[in-house]
Amino acid sequence: MPRKHMGLGTPGDWLNRARSNLIRARQPKMEGVFWEDLCFDAQQATEKALKAVLIDRGIQFRLVHDIAELLTYLEKNGLSLPEEICAAAALTNFAVEARYPGTAEPVTSEEFKEVLQTAEAVVTWAEALVKNKKV
């Protein structure tokens, strides 16, 4: 029997999930954990933060992991995106390809730091936008 569609939740729900992924991404890397897995959490934080803004603004979107597509929905609906937010499109690769062996180059600690900084910037930006309803 198909599950009933329960809706997408509130922008606050999505921001809470984004913060949760960000907390996981910030954890000290333990032995046996791949940088790619921490990048996945950073990508998820970014994705969920953008979806919070989309929901807050009543913008319909496909349920995808493609950050560039989510950013495009925002731009097409009149939101001006700072350059550092647009740069988050590069995190899409961590949604799928980087999680599987042999499909991408290994991530270095320096690359991870950049990915984390981008995710933190997007979550902070989304929080301010949802709270203040800025354009």
CA distance 114 to 25: 12
Q: Which two tokens stand for residue 113?
A: 């730091």
Q: Please name which of 61, 63, 45 lies closest in space to residue 127, comparing C-alpha atoms.
A: 45
Mean pLDDT, all residues of the chain: 91
What pLDDT does 119 receive? 98
Give pLDDT tens digits for 45-63: 999 999 999 999 999 999 9
